[in-house]
Amino acid sequence: MIDRLKADLPVSYLCEKLGVSRSGYYDWVSREPSPMVQRRDELAAKVLCAFAASERSAGYRKVTAELHADGVVVDRKTVASRMRELGLIPLFAEAAFKKANQRSSRAVDPVDLVNRLFSSLTPGAILVGDITYVHTREGWLYVATVIDLASRAVLGYATGKRQTVGLIVRAMDRARASGHVATGAIFHSDHGSQYRAKSFAKYCGKYGIRRSMGANMQCWDNAVAESFFSKLKNERLTFTTRRAATHEVVKYIGHYNTRRRHQSLGYKTPAQALAKLTNPADTAKATPAAA
């Protein structure tokens, strides 16, 4: 087969595809193959030519169709077998294999521990988080938040010019520093790469925080965080600098925690709801650290 194709393709390339050495090929040239081997080699040569003509894009179905168009009588299974033997893998299949391999090596995402039941009577027991962006003339400013589901209070936040695991860790650090994150708290998020990162999983494990994720590509599974961000975006305009935007974001979070009344909280503010849930006898003491 190499002898037939060497006028069109380099011998080294053909030998590599067939898994033989060049010296082995030249040794074989002096031998007379059997009729069955000749037929097999002829088909392999035609398969290789059809695959090369497609610029490595055709799978066994298209290669079979090309052979049929040339009058070659052969079935798909035989073509697929010859292509496997020759190591002919179409480019799309290589990309799909690499992607599948990456998915199989990735840690399994956490299960949904919230299941869209966005209510809680225990402050700090269920937290939700997400990352959004605010436009500035310097570029995007990314904002990560940690929100208490019971009171809707923003317990932690962080801003930065990149979406990184460090951004969500800083937001979680601030939430923990508020003193309102319960032992064994659930943290619910979407499937963003930052929340799936091994380093974030390790961080949560270190502090006894249980991760939870909703369905992939489904924003309703993280509706509380999405709702907060929609209010943030709707009530603030484009800023000149990231520094100015950060100042306004922090100011807005303070306003949100202490001034915005929620229907779901009986028209209390998040700070009032958190204070009442934390210490019903003294609602004036407890206020979110993020405010």
The DSSP code sequence of 24-63 is HHHHHHTS---HHHHHHHHHHHHHHHHHHHTTT---HHHH
126-278 fold: Nucleotidyltransferase; domain 5 (3.30.420)
Domains of the chain by residue range: 2-105, 126-278
pLDDT over 80 (residue 240): yes
Average predicted confidence (pLDDT) for the chain: 78
Predicted pLDDT at 227 = 63
Q: Are 107 and 201 in contact (CB under 8 A)?
A: yes
Q: Count of residues for the chain?
A: 291
3-state secondary structure of 273: helix
| Segment 143-190, tens digit of pLDDT | 999 999 888 899 999 999 999 999 999 999 999 999 999 989 999 988
Helices (H), 56-133: 60-69, 76-86, 91-105
Give CA–CA dist 26/2, Å, rounded: 10
pTM recorded for the entire structure = 0.57
Q: Which element (helix H / strand E) includes 233?
A: helix 223-235
Tokens of 2: 């190499």
Q: Are 118 and 186 in contact (CB under 8 A)?
A: no
Lowest mean pLDDT among 5-19, 112-126, 242-256: 5-19
Predicted pLDDT at 291 = 46
Kindly tell me the sign of the dihedral angle through the C-alpha atoms of 85, 88, 92, 95.
Answer: positive
Sheet order of strands, 154-160 included: 154-160, 139-148, 126-136, 186-189, 210-213
Q: Which residues of 198-226 are buried (b: 16+ CB within 10 A; e: fewer)?
A: eebbebbeeeebbbbbbeeeeeebbebbe
Tokens of 79: 């073509």
| Nearest by Cα to 4 from 40, 45, 53 | 45
What are residue 134's DSSP bridge partners?
141
Return phi, psi of residue 266, to 5°.
70, 35
Per-residue CA distances from 284 to 177, 274, 280, 289 (Å): 19, 10, 9, 14
| Segment 80-128, tens digit of pLDDT | 888 887 777 776 665 555 555 555 545 677 777 777 665 657 889 999 8
